[in-house]
Chains A and B, each alone.
Chain A
């Protein structure tokens, strides 16, 4: 009963630590670490704990194989976690970057994405004329009716056909998106079958180099420029909306209208106005909401998958650490018993085993996070986006992510070290000395 009770208590302490670790912001954790170091060197109990820890650390070179189990096991967990979450983060950031609070996008009701939507010419004119829409220097509304279609181009990496998003735009599109710049060549000429490629689309697809010709809608188009927006639009091809419409036989209908609001506060009024209008049925959202919605499903999927994989790997790592640390404690039975016979209390022994495990865990966490950062930060990948076409994004290994990885490492190390530590402390002194 005694051992069961102590095992339960240990489990509760472990769970509490992990919960605390998850909840604490990084600066609080750093503060706690600093306090621990101070305790180790300034108090008597702390110094005892430190001398036992030194004993343990000194034996690590002899137990390199066993110690590496802890380090590599934790490095694996942290590396995989950071990489997967960096993928989710990168995809979400690319999309989040594309939207903001001062522009809004209007689609036909229930369409969900631009590709599904159809708006006729009258509707786009009326929507653009709403009072909440900002005007440019000439008094023209900054409203861009756009036509999104899908074309097919071979991917450079696979050689197989993939879907690329072609966005037919008008003059107002440039005023609407001040972040868009031409970085090579020039803008397309309205009325001609010319297009400009986003810098990511250029990396991803064949036939996109400046000066080449590609087949869109059964007709040849010339690539005259390359643009950069720093967001999801970089995976697109832009051309004159009227020319795209005639190629795809859409007449003067468009798929969406994107407008600049006079101020973010005007959005609600704008939305009320366009949704109440009896002449058409539309949905309006800020571009921020619209693009965030597009990334939500995939990023959630990746995060759930990543957490699941992480937890399962962590369980494997915890049991590996338990094995290693129990063995470590067993080989040091004699030394620990001697120390306790001399007068060292149980507490410092527990702390020392824990510190040793945590140091190994931190080493593993740093290696895993470091590898993930070195290999995956800014790694480009592409996937199928909401408009059923390729969206290119970069993995993003953020400092928050690295900190989170280290937290996992510490949690695993703590759980893996606590039980052996308690065992070391509770071992009867005479039992340990009998080994001598």
Chain B
């Protein structure tokens, strides 16, 4: 890149103006990173590879109606189903009602169907062997500073214990983590033994909130789902089975259209950015007409001059874009660490960077095109004589 010193010096000819423009670019891309991570939390959450093979079976009537545990054996025998497990919603909060928990009572083989939850074998064994045992996600443990071995009292919001107490105390025996950054939103749950829930709860025991199945072939998901629902057809506990992604889509669809809101804000931000950097580039080129003319006299072709100006513009956007994305990465980590696992933000990923850099390049080209054409088309003779 032998032309780099030339392009760099052109960009920093007016240091203050360039610096101010770069700050505006940094601000725009900082926002891009932050908002992208919010949007990702709503759109890509839950789309794991393992998830493509999972189905969710719930009561057809309503989310809040449970299913009989007798369904387990019958679902297991449906062709195409390789594993079945179930879970019950518990809810609750820790210490302060503000600290709502995602807590579920799960069957012993639950973690078999969720390989993306990485749990050391020893800890899984401890979970099975400890009646009051609980496994929590790493994000949740970090937020409350829990360690394996702690006793965790949870205040129930729905299910008091049979003895009337509202406090359920669990023994923290394991901490799971997820490797895929786009699944980080799943690291905030607390799982405990369904058996303990069933015996200790005042009501709501003996039932399964929902079932989760693994299919041998993801492409057979729809037909397997229909077969599962056929089991309970015309009974008093009709079921609705759908793929995990369909279930997530319905869930996410209930929130205000986050994608649209985020997209709208980013459109406003980048529109103003284009205007701002376009203005800077136009000014910069206007001032440099004599110098561009010199380059042409030396023998730089029209196309070279065009490329030099475009490169300058892309460099301007690229520098600001990279710094902005770096800052956004730090900001997102900071926010997530401070506000806990329930905040709807995913960490900044390679995806964010790819899209961000691509955007910077495209904007750089768009903003540079008119000044570049102007530079390219200038007539040497006119430019040198100052006309």
Contact = CB atoms under 8 A, between A and B. Distances in A.
Contact of B273 (A84, A155, A316): A316
A381 to B, nearest CB: 5
28 contacts: A65-B282, A69-B275, A72-B271, A73-B276, A76-B272, A110-B97, A110-B166, A111-B158, A112-B93, A112-B97, A116-B91, A150-B62, A151-B62, A155-B253, A160-B249, A160-B253, A217-B61, A248-B62, A248-B64, A308-B34, A312-B31, A316-B23, A317-B272, A319-B20, A320-B20, A326-B16, A327-B283, A381-B257
Given A72-B271, A384-B254, A163 B30 contact: no
B225 to A, nearest CB: 14
Interface string A296-335: 0000000001001100110111011011101100000000
Interface string A66-96: 1011001101100110011001000000000
Q: Top 5 nearest A-B pairs by Cβ distance?
A: A316-B27, A76-B272, A316-B24, A158-B253, A116-B158
Interface in B196-254: 203, 236, 238, 249-250, 253-254
A382 interface: yes
A400 B256 CA distance: 24
A112 B91 CA distance: 11
Contacts of A381: 256-257
B24 A320 contact: yes
A113 B91 CA distance: 12
A342 B17 CA distance: 31
B272 A309 contact: no
B253 A80 contact: no
B186 interface: no
B367 to A, nearest CB: 12
B271 A163 contact: no
Given A309-B35, A319-B20, A323-B20, A160 B250 contact: yes
A110 B24 contact: no
Contacts of B271: 72, 76
A305 B23 CA distance: 21
Given A323-B21, A381-B256, A312 B268 contact: no
A173 interface: no
Given A68-B279, A217-B62, A218-B238, 15 more contacts: A80-B269, A84-B265, A110-B97, A110-B155, A110-B157, A112-B93, A116-B158, A160-B250, A217-B61, A309-B35, A316-B272, A319-B20, A326-B16, A326-B20, A381-B256
B250 A162 contact: yes
Contacts of B381: none
B129 to A, nearest CB: 30
- Looking at chain B, what size class is its interface with the partner chain? 35 or more
A65 B281 CA distance: 11
Interface string B362-375: 00000000000000
Contact of B27 (A80, A109, A313, A326): A313
A268 interface: no
A390 interface: yes
B16 A163 contact: no
B357 to A, nearest CB: 19
Interface in A19-45: none
Contacts of A68: 275, 279
Contact of B60 (A65, A110, A150, A218): A218
Contact of B254 (A110, A113, A163, A308): A163
B106 to A, nearest CB: 20
A383 B276 contact: no
B256 A382 contact: yes
Contacts of B1: none
B250 A161 contact: yes
